[in-house]
Amino acid sequence: MKRLIEELLPIKEISEESAREKNIRHGHISTLHIWWARRPLIASRATIYSALVSAENIEEKKKFLLKIAKWETSLNQELIKKAREEIKKENGGKVLRVLDPFSGGGSIPLECLRLGLETHAIDYNPVAVLILKCILEYPQKYGRPQKVVEQNGFYKQEKQESPLIKDVQRWGEWVLESAKKEIGRFYPTDKDGSIPVGYLWARTIPCQNPLCGAEIPLIRQFWLAKKEKKKISLYPFVYNKGVEFAIVKKEGNQWKVLESSVEGFEPKVPENFDPEKGTTARAEAVCLVCGSTIEDDDVRRLFREGKASQRMTAVVLSTQKGEGKSYRLATEKDLEFYRLAEEYLEEKRKKLWEEWGIDPVPDEDLPPENTLGFRVQRYGMLKWGDLFNSRQKLALITFTEKVRLAYKKMLEEGYDEDYAKAVVSYLGFIPSRMADTNSMLCHWDGTWEKVSTTFARQALPMNWDYIETNVFSDKGYSYLNILENNILKVLSHLTQIPPVEAEE
């Protein structure tokens, strides 16, 4: 008997849906944790179905295949049930058993599970194994919705509720509040109620012209917001033999100064100012004070010799009124809170080192220089911990500590040990996601006004200017948004997949 895949597979339509799937965020397993070679769910589902049903009634099956090969039908119980029944009927009435020995990010085994197969998935990478448990095992074992009766005054209300989702949310919020109580003071809200989404930094080197010696801020381009109706940029200008900044907005062909770092002085911005042209390209730097060029080898040498530094340039804000993002220049107060976090990091690091027996800041060596995709070693970044600034390190080790404490507290409350491990596995993904969204290799994307993540290119190239995320913001890649959008919405999707029918 020929299978459908041998006779017909509508590749064009499946490819279009798979491409569209890349833009699906809320509820998609790709947001749970990074995996490099995760296959599209749509293509996996279509291929599995086509391989397991016969080529009989081919036109009818093609129409049905195109119905189930869409993201929107992933949880359509009627269609999924029909697909399961058809697969079982055409394979002797048995529940088929499938093994994926190199499961990776879990797309293929997840779609096997969705289509009613007894699914077994393995991988030799421990990160993949944890991802697979959180996608395939825990939602089916602990996450099935249960009937819950709530007493509301004189009335009783019945509803379906997943205990796993409820506990992940409860303990995820506990972790957030515990961390905020300890380190939230290092991320203050502005006096007008605006909340910093992130802090923009530029790495700096000293000009090598012996007659100059000015600090050169290394910035690839100056755009803050680059949209059709919103064009805002940093504008660098020379003042007292140093580089200062203004925030400028383009109105027509003119640049209007919104704010200047020099009190009482408003720089004149030429009409031909081009924010695309920064101070560095391909590791070469230009001094804005004297015009000297620093060659790429000298730039790298300065970093390796520890002569490079950094400078906070601006702050991205979210207003309480929901008017989108706004921008202001960094102030001495912003730097003071950063320095306080830097001081507290040393105290916190020492405490956790004594408790854990290891350095809480990863001190393992990065891969050797010239390893495929790795470019930062040439700039003196030799250990994994070097990829983060002090406040980023403090946030990551604090959230990691709170996740560990959440597990202990669950056991103290009488949680089953295996179930507590399941809950804490999802919580552990959050600091991991934060490491991707809050490192010195993240840059600000003015076109979309969002953070471009560490592994946006699946590599670690050098980043001259970067954005530090406010982990306690309610916007952007904050802890709360990762919990709600990357964890809970994925869990909501996974726990709605019907269990596989047991063999009689």
Answer yes or no: is pLDDT of 58 > 60.
yes
Model confidence band, residue 92 (pLDDT cutoffs 50, 70, 90): very high
Tokens encoding 183: 């380190």
Query: What average pLDDT is seen over the chain?
Result: 94
Answer yes or no: is pLDDT of 277 > 70.
yes
Answer yes or no: is pLDDT of 183 > 80.
yes
CA distances from 149 to 156, 433, 491 (A): 6, 35, 22
The reported pLDDT for the residue numbered 242 is 97
Tokens encoding 410: 């669950």
In angstroms, the CA 121 to CA 137 distance is: 10
Q: Give yes or no for a contact between 492 and 165, defined as CB atoms under 8 angstroms apart.
A: yes
Model confidence band, residue 504 (pLDDT cutoffs 50, 70, 90): very low
Q: How far is CA 332 from the centre of its chain?
A: 29
The reported pLDDT for the residue numbered 456 is 81
In the sheet with 254-260, reading across from the earlier edge strand, the strands are 223-227, 230-239, 242-251, 254-260
The pTM of the full predicted model, rounded to 2 decimals, is 0.93
Mean pLDDT of 290-300: 97
Model confidence band, residue 36 (pLDDT cutoffs 50, 70, 90): confident
The reported pLDDT for the residue numbered 152 is 62
Mean pLDDT of 203-231: 97
Answer yes or no: is pLDDT of 503 > 60.
no
Enumerate residues 6+ apart whose C-beta is below 8 A from 407. 420, 421, 423, 424
Answer yes or no: is pLDDT of 159 > 70.
no
214-233: b (≥16 Cβ within 10 Å) or e: bbbbbbbbbbbbbeeeebbb
Model confidence over 197-209: pLDDT tens digits?
A: 999 999 999 999 9
Stronger pLDDT, 204 or 150, i.e. the higher one: 204
Mean pLDDT of 326-341: 98
Winning range, highest mean pLDDT, from 4-8, 149-153, 322-326: 4-8
Residue 497 burial by Cβ neighbours in a 10 Å radius (0-12, 13-18, 19+): buried
The reported pLDDT for the residue numbered 218 is 98
Answer yes or no: is pLDDT of 155 > 70.
no
The reported pLDDT for the residue numbered 106 is 96
Model confidence over 440-484: pLDDT tens digits?
A: 999 999 999 999 999 887 788 999 999 999 999 988 889 999 999
**In the chain, what are the domain boundaries?**
4-142
The percentage of residues in the chain with a pLDDT greater than 90, rounded to a whole number, is 88
